[in-house]
Structure 1
């Protein structure tokens, strides 16, 4: 009975901050932001149910792609440098995503999965999982700490978040089967209750507005070719995430992935890329990071996940429900998710099983991963001399790491070097 509730909190914590941050970046009015939040809940629930029912058939959260989330925020920040207003940039992004959604559906409909797999090889997937781990951990680690108006850390709230991290970690390691499996849910509930007692004035206010749908809130689709190309390419690159998520989840279940699973999952993904573009949302993709949650909670049964997807959809349909959960402090959600996603690093390591490295072949992994992490830690402002339309690519460590990995896999015969190592 508690399993769907734990999934529900996991879905909420992973979803709610995305439309809020995009709405702020594009200066949307409050009612538009609330609409995108509720649409996020509705379509995340529906997409997750469809994927686990007729898509890849795993309890795997289907929600906003971290890669595209960062890209949209960067494009919003770069609007003035591009000498465009925000609605023009948003419209170009919508066009790019619409095209990418259609192409993704075509890839699945005509069964071109094997062609994509020739590009997205197992090592590319491993690089992607490593870089995604670092990106998410950076996000959740920063999100644990509350920043004051003067730009400094709010010490009491931040120390409380660290305490929640320690509490959840101990539950996971020392709590045994029951407490360990429900450590995420316990951490959120205990953290939320204590936060209400200790910091009552810091709680977000509950929203009570009614639902009103708006199409293309970020901007009406247009033909700004530069914005369209960047958005289109990045959206197609998230197919890497689909392959990585499905394969890594199958490894957890000790199953072999059938080609038809990829095809059905990617078909659903393509449809929801189109839907999310229409409602101004970050496109969806199967969450590789769910694997860390699965390993932390041992919730391998699909039924609780499907129930939670239905409940999450209700949060968007019934405003008071979503408004109540909106009072959960984001610092608590980030602290608990920080612990859950530590497991993702193990998933990245497991993806390398059977791969041999020496002083030559280590470049296959270390080059893309360490360059990507390095870029993640360079302030985007330092890339100001690069053409603005290239900046969303160059400043994104995840994109650059995956691109470098794809190039290395194409131009170097690593099997020959590996054979040399074995010999």
Structure 2
């Protein structure tokens, strides 16, 4: 019996390891590409990402919120940093200036986050981050991540057109992973992300052997602040600072959702401990050029489908993931993974976030007036996401990074609507025909 329990624990640990890998590996690669970092620096960020992600998962499960929740790179900050890197020229700045401003904003926000936890100011944050604001956040985060992955699936040639063979291959990967997830049941379906990455990667090597990045032969280039030395670019700092604080929305949402799975009531100290760890890792991420950390709401779907509710396998997987980053050869090899394949697989994975967003609205009544509570911030945010940043050139430079970010603007609008309109009173009046 003891041997059987050990075997189940190890198998569960490897399953967690694959889930963490699939949700982490693309982030440092894509951000490094957006800021045009050399291959050896991207290799460093991949290895640091693995090491720090593993440690973050262990600490959160051990002394933080104490749930098996993936703690990895924030989707909000990932999208923000990618957009800033892509929009650097439109903002009239070089990559080092933008990256340095982001680092300063993350460092400052990390300090504030630690202070919020240290002085137990959680109740103040909860008054701002209401359930409806959380729902708006999840909807917009879903759209932002899906947009990123969808665009990343398609390789663009030097002439600015889509590389048709590679793009069709990505669509094939999406179809394969989707069918595997839907038809695979609780067996293969639970491993659809891992299988998609492995099969897609192998086929890509066979079909496009000359289209793979060359592994760095110069070795890993270790450096602090690889995206740029901290500076005082106020516009970039402000947006990065606000975005990191908005990560707390994801923290509250994830912990509450996990508690629902376990049929438990969340204690305030769980939020406090988790937020303290998040603040510490914001400092660390800024120093090593990583996207800041947050508990993953999407982990809830993984928990519900696999029933891996014990903490022990999750903590073991954190140690294993850290080990992957310590072994030098693995970081260099993983740096050769085709971005189009990774984006195609994660495009399917994050479609499930839309279900999480819909579930967050259960019990909420909408009519022709109160629908503005949700539709206003969500649709305005999505609209901003689809406007090229260069069109905001007439806006003061200090405000451009904020105004051009649809997710942040959508959440701000939601907070404003929740604070200045009594939706419950309006709903009651409409129900009685007043």
Q: What is the SS of the residue equivalent to 1:176? A: coil
Q: Number of residue pairs matched?
A: 423
The one of 140, 143, 160 equivalent to 1:151 is 160
Deviation at 1:252, TM superposition (A): 3.9
Q: Does 1:35 align with 2:44?
A: yes
- Displacement after TM superposition at 1:417 (Å): 1.6
Match of 2:3 in 1: none
Q: CA RMSD in A?
A: 2.4
The TM-score, its normalising length taken from structure 2, stands at 0.89
Matches of 2:205 and 2:91, distance apart in 1: 43
2:342 is equivalent to residue 333 of structure 1: yes
How far, CA to CA, are the matches of 1:141 and 1:207 in structure 2?
28
SS in 1 for 2:398: helix
Query: 1:68 — aligned with what?
Result: 77
Query: What is the rounded CA distance, in whole Å, between the counterparts of 2:235 and 2:171 in structure 1?
Result: 43
Q: Give the match's secondary structure for 1:168.
A: helix
Corresponding residue SS for 2:399: helix
Distance 2:92 2:383 in 1: 29
Tell me the residue number matched to 1:322.
331
Q: Is it true that 1:259 corresponds to 2:268 in the alignment? A: yes
CA distance in structure 2 between the partners assigned to 1:296 and 1:144 by the alignment: 26
1:173 equivalenced with 2:171 (yes/no):
no
Aligned 8 A contact 1:216 1:277 in 2: yes
- Determine the C-alpha separation between the residues in 2 that align with 1:341 and 1:161: 16
Q: How far, CA to CA, are the matches of 2:212 and 2:96 in structure 1?
A: 32
* Contact persistence 1:6–1:184 (CA under 8 A): no
The TM-score with structure 1 as length reference comes to 0.91
> Could you say if the C-alpha distance between residues 82 and 151 of structure 1 is closer, same or farther in structure 2, counting changes exceeding 3 Å?
closer
TM-fit CA distance, 1:407:
0.2
Of residues 395, 403, 428 in structure 2, which corresponds to 1:419? 428
How far did 1:322 drift?
1.9
Aligned-pair CA distance for 1:274? 0.9
Alignment equivalent of 1:190, drawn from 175, 199, 216 = 199
The residue that corresponds to 1:90 in the other structure is 99
* Deviation (angstroms), 1:414: 0.9
Gaps of 5+ in 2: 1-9
Cα distance in structure 2, aligned partners of 1:235 and 1:216 = 17
- Partner residue of 1:216? 225
**Paired position in structure 2 for 1:291:** 300
- Confirm or deny that 1:386 pairs with 2:406: no
Which residue pairs with 1:343 in the alignment? 352
Which residues of 2 match residues 264-279 of structure 1 at below 5 A? 264-279=273-288
Separation in 1, partners of 2:214, 2:391: 37
Q: CA deviation at 1:111?
A: 1.0
Contact kept in structure 2, 1:74 and 1:392, CA below 8 Å: no
Cα offset, 1:86, TM superposition: 4.2
Equivalent-residue separation in structure 2 for 1:329 and 1:128 (angstroms) = 30
How far does residue 296 in structure 1 lie from its aligned partner after superposition?
5.3
**Is 1:359 equivalent to 2:368 in the alignment?**
yes
Structure 1 residue 362 displacement after superposition:
0.8
Structure-2 separation of matches of 1:334 and 1:227: 26
Which of 364, 369, 381 is the matching residue for 1:372? 381
